[in-house]
Amino acid sequence: MTTTSIDSLIAHDTSDMLGAVASLPAQLPDGLARANLLRTQVAERWAGDHGATPRTLVVCGMGGSGVGADLLPAAADVLAPVVAVKGYDLPGWVTDEDRVVCVSYSGATSETLSCFDQAVERSVVAAVITTGGELLARAEAAGVPAVVLPSGMQPRAAVGVIFGALAGVADALGVIEDVATVVEECVAGATLVVDEHLGTGPEHGGEAPPALDFARRLHDHAIVVSGASHTEAVAHRWKAQVNENGKVPCFASAYPELCHNELVGWEFAGATGARWALVELLPFAASEAIRARFDIVRSLIADSIDLDLRFEPRASTRAGATFEQLVWGDYVSIYLALLRGIDPTPVERIHALKAQLAGR
């Protein structure tokens, strides 16, 4: 691809979503440092008289702000279950045995504010993670520690700083150990892919970025992303990024569960009229059983799909592989938008929905 044609593609990225992905390795330790500023206050929110760790860590957050809840147990060994709540209500079982963290980049998300109020009511909230808004105001009023994120990004583009902050809060509560190593490993994995994309832009002579090649092949396909174990969370991140950046439908699923239902659904995939593409996110140190399932399913559904792309992790740790596979999805989703000639950043429909809800 010529420098000029890459230039004209990248011109659609007016808010520099590509730059946001490139900043991911730096975001991770930044988020951790921000949480560490409040380490003592957060630790004090768990008295510890019920045990070394809370029974569960409940993380409330939607969309780009909620993804950290999925990624934390994917990347790190957790000493208590991390439960993601993506809705208006805390589950009834959440009591003083548990601790709740509310994450909202804008601080204005109604579901997360609702969970925050319920968590305050039950005296179980450990911290909030936000740039400001109503969530910060309510946290300050209630005396809840607030990890303050840098503003000016899209929530989904702040995944590194959100993850780092959540990991720091989880560490302060005793839910994960050796947080610095976890974050370093995530940085190493993200850097593997970012490095392949820095140096391939127009300022470096126009060699085609690898994710652009994948995006060209996936363009105008209905995409299904399959993960397993820790890459199940990453498959959901891919889906959300293809939706929000690429502005097309995308679906996520996970092995081995998909072998018990989705596999059959491929039989008449062609009847939908769509051209289907499969993205396979092999997990770190995949067991023979899981690898066999990826291989056998791929061959069984070969007639139903137009294309399949398999991503084998190269990182040397599970945390690294999580962020390596995630960054591939971030880049591919951005190039899907750029190939369509649109800016990946705006999410006008989300704002329209929120505006209409506010009017009710």
Write out the two tokens for 317.
Answer: 């740790």
Q: Which two tokens stand for residue 18?
A: 């590509």
| Cα–Cα distance measured from residue 139 to residue 208, given in angstroms and rounded to the nearest whole number | 46
244 catalytic per annotation:
yes
Catalytic residue among 111, 185, 244, 324: 244
Q: How far is the CB of 142 from ligand PA5 (least distance, A)?
A: 18
The distance of closest approach from Cβ of residue 162 to ligand PA5 in the complex, given in angstroms and rounded to an integer, is 9
* Residues 146-165 within binding reach of ligand PA5 (CB under 6 A): 154-156
Instruction: Report which residue type is found at 153.
Output: M
Residue partners of 352: CB distance under 8 A and separation at least 6: none
Tell me: does residue 110 bind ligand PA5 (CB under 6 A): no
Neighbour-count burial for 36-66, b at 16+ CB within 10 Å, e otherwise: bebeeebbebbeeeeeebbbbbbbbbbbbbb
Q: Which of 29, 54, 64, 189 binds ligand PA5 (CB under 6 A)?
A: 64
Residue 324 parent element (H or E) = helix 318-340
By CB under 6 A, which span of 102-110, 168-176, 261-269, 292-300 interacts with ligand PA5? 102-110
- List Cα–Cα distances, 315 to 31, 108, 193, 350, in angstroms: 22, 36, 10, 34
Q: Does 333 bind ligand PA5 (CB under 6 A)?
A: no
Question: Which residue number, 232 or 244, has a Cβ lying nearer to ligand PA5?
Answer: 244
In the complex with ligand PA5, which residue's Cβ is closer, 252 or 297? 252
Among 29, 31, 63, 320, binds ligand PA5 (CB under 6 A): 63
Nearer to ligand PA5, 56 or 65 (CB): 65
Nearest CB to ligand PA5, comparing residues 62 and 225: 62
* 127 DSSP β-pair partners: 101
Q: Does 345 bind ligand PA5 (CB under 6 A)?
A: no
Identify the CA nearest to 314 among candidates 306, 305, 323.
Answer: 323
- Give catalytic status of residue 204 as yes or no: no
| Cα 159 from Cα 154, distance rounded (Å) | 9
Q: Does 329 bind ligand PA5 (CB under 6 A)?
A: no
Total chain residues near ligand PA5 (CB under 6 A): 15
- Token pair of 248 as six digits: 């097309």
Q: Rule CB under 6 A: is residue 325 a binding residue for ligand PA5?
A: no
Dist CA 319 CA 20 (whole Å): 20
Rounded-to-integer distance, Cα 277 and Cα 250, Å? 10
Nearer to ligand PA5, 155 or 174 (CB): 155
Q: Among this protein's residues, is 354 annotated catalytic?
A: yes
Yes or no: say if 319 and 176 are a contact pair by the CB < 8 Å rule.
no
Judged by phi (left if over 0) then psi (alpha if -120 to 50, else beta), residue 311 lies in: beta
For residues 94 and 217, what is the distance between their CA atoms, to the nearest angstrom? 45
Smallest distance from ligand PA5 to CB 169, Å = 16
- Segment interacting with ligand PA5, rule: CB under 6 A, options 61-69, 88-96, 186-194, 211-219: 61-69
Shortest distance, CB of residue 68 to ligand PA5, whole angstroms?
10
Task: Report the residue from 23, 36, 65, 231 that binds ligand PA5 according to the rule CB under 6 A.
Answer: 65
**Per-residue contact string for residues 237-266; x = within reach of ligand PA5 by CB under 6 A:** -------x----------------------
- Candidate list 62, 172, 175, 188; residue touching ligand PA5; CB under 6 A: 62
Closest CB to ligand PA5 among residues 226, 345: 345
Euclidean distance between CA atoms 44 and 58, whole angstroms: 17
Q: Which residues bind ligand PA5 (CB under 6 A)?
A: 62-65, 104-106, 109, 112, 154-156, 244, 347, 350
Catalytic positions, written as ranges:
244, 260, 354
